[in-house]
Structure 1
Amino acid sequence: MKLIKQLCASVFIAAIAASTVVASEKPVAIELVNNANIKNLAAHNNLVFSAAQPTDEQFKQLSHAKVKHVINLRAANEQDWDEGALVNSLGMNYHAIEIAGVQDVNIDNAKRLASLLKQLKGESVVVHCASSNRVGALMAISAHQQGADIESAIETGKQWGMASLEPIVREVMSDK
């Protein structure tokens, strides 16, 4: 049964990360994304990336690499500049799910992120927060919601950047 739950969670995460590419979609220039030197950058396939906060210049490089969407998990009060305006001006689409503190690391927000990734239908996306910790936390909760056991979900979260939020995530998952 444990193996079946792990398999189901793996299939769910793979489905999020590897949604079908639309025929007209231009491939992301992976080497340009990697050369942007964004802290904690992790590629989950050729279209979905998690990262820490990109700089203005790194956003420009992501745009040149043909990234279509940016999902920001930082709260508005964490930034003293308009990231959405910059991202949109570079021809990318900006999305925000504000995760302002540990109270926002919850099942509802994990579902919101998973739903948004699914809606993007295989278009290229970078999901970020300040360090990628919140990104990984929500992805771990999503994996657990889809049937992964706690340890497998934690591993998924770490692959997406979770670090210090692991105890909070374990608490959320144990309350499921």
Structure 2
Amino acid sequence: MSKLPLFKSLLCFSLLALTLPVSAEPESDSNPQQLKSISVGQITPLYRSKMIYLSGQPTREDFPLLQKDGVKTVVNLRTIKELNWDEAGYVRMLELDYVAIPFLTPETLTPAVFDQCRGVLNDQARHPLILHSASANRVGAIWLVHRVLDDDLDFDAALKEAKQVGLKTPGYIDQAKAYIAEQKK
């Protein structure tokens, strides 16, 4: 029995395999915006979901690194009194878009704040963007609402992500739940 026909079959199969398209990443339709922990400068915590970065407070040195990474817009959820430097001026000097949507306590996390944040997060022209607060606690509250209402993720899965990002304050969760319920009416 000759081994030549088997060799020709294997060779043909190998050549055929080389012509088929190859996907660089495995496809996953269960969560197309999978949250990934990443590292840029000294920012902690820092996650990315597609073109949205979610973080605690970046340092002055981190913003040029974010810019080099492609970030075009900085969205700050901290109040002016919390910052001991001119973040807005510095970010604008780097020619990045700067959006301040400050809130501090659960009572200041109003429907208008959620509306404004959702508007920025859903504006593809502003992407890639970074959404930050001091520790990402506030970021998690905004992320929870965005994932449920704009990405159609169920509440429990979105809450798990939000807590992974940094959400800790029960009052923020309550405000997010109330806003989601009102929007779904």
TM-score by length of 1: 0.71
* TM alignment of 1:31-50, pairs within 5 A: 34-45=39-50, 47-50=51-54
Counterpart residue number, 2:161: 156
- Cα distance between partner residues in 2 of 1:111 and 1:160: 20
Counterpart residue number, 2:82: 78
CA deviations over 1:118-155 (Å, ceiling 9, x no partner): 12436211110001110111221334445655423312
Counterpart residue number, 1:100: 104
CA RMSD of aligned residues (A): 2.5
Which secondary structure state, in structure 2, belongs to the residue aligned with residue 56 of structure 1? coil
CA deviations over 1:15-73 (Å, ceiling 9, x no partner): xx9xxxxxxxxxxxxxxx7341311000112x210110000111121122231110000
Q: 1:35 to 1:169 in 2, by over 3 A?
A: closer
Which secondary structure state, in structure 1, belongs to the residue aligned with residue 70 of structure 2? coil
Larger C-alpha radius of gyration, 1 or 2? Answer: 2
Letter in 2 for 1:71: V
Of 159, 168, 171, 1:168 maps to: 171
Q: 1:169 to 1:100 in 2, by over 3 A?
A: closer
* The 10-residue stretch of structure 1 (92-101 or 139-148) with the greater mean CA deviation from structure 2: 139-148
Q: 1:142 to 1:64 in 2, by over 3 A?
A: closer
Counterpart residue number, 2:140: 136
Q: State the aligned residue count.
A: 145
TM-score by length of 2: 0.68
- Cα distance between partner residues in 1 of 2:148 and 2:122: 17
**Percent same amino acid at aligned positions?**
26
Counterpart residue number, 1:57: 61
Q: Which runs of 5+ in 1 are unaligned?
A: 1-9, 18-32
- Cα distance between partner residues in 1 of 2:138 and 2:56: 10
Q: 1:43 to 1:144 in 2, by over 3 A?
A: closer
Q: Are the aligned partners of 1:150 and 1:170 in contact in 2 as well (CA < 8 Å)? A: no
